[in-house]
């Protein structure tokens, strides 16, 4: 059975239906939570974590992996997965912004992101 691995800070249980359906076209959705990357880590520490998680992901032989998060880790992991011929994706969305003035007279800006598609790295 093919898997679509969600490796982000956004659990698939909270995705809108369009994103869930697009992911399920690749296979069963499996969440592997995105790690916390300490700001004081150097490039070698980030690379080691990317290598460790790449091994976990590759052992599952996924049909595709959604990777989004801290940039240096994401870059390292994407390169490792692509080298292993695993399709790596990013979610594309449209941002819808609305503004209103609350009871205190302050302007409140609210953003909603609507999923459009996955795009390959």
Domain count, the chain: 1
* Dist CA 62 CA 67 (whole Å): 13
- CATH of residue 72's domain is 3.40.50
* Dist CA 3 CA 30 (whole Å): 7
Q: Which two tokens stand for residue 108?
A: 């409140």
Q: Against a cut of 0.85, is the pTM above it?
A: yes
* Dist CA 81 CA 51 (whole Å): 10
Query: What are 17-55's pLDDT values in tens digits?
Result: 999 999 999 999 999 999 999 999 999 999 999 999 999
Domain with 94 in it? 3-120
Query: What are 56-80's pLDDT values in tens digits?
Result: 999 999 999 999 999 999 999 999 9
């Amino acid at each position: 059975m093919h898997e679509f691995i969600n490796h982000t800070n956004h659990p698939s249980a909270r995705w809108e239906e369009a994103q869930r359906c697009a992911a399920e076209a690749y296979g069963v959705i499996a969440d592997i939570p995105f790690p916390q990357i300490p700001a004081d880590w150097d490039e070698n520490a980030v690379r080691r974590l990317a290598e460790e998680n790449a091994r976990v992901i590759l052992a599952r032989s996924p049909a595709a992996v959604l990777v989004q998060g801290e940039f240096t880790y994401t870059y390292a992991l994407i390169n490792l997965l692509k080298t292993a011929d695993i399709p790596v994706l990013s979610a594309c969305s449209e941002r819808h912004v609305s503004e209103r003035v609350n009871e205190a007279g302050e302007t409140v800006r609210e953003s909603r992101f609507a999923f459009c598609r996955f795009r390959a790295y």
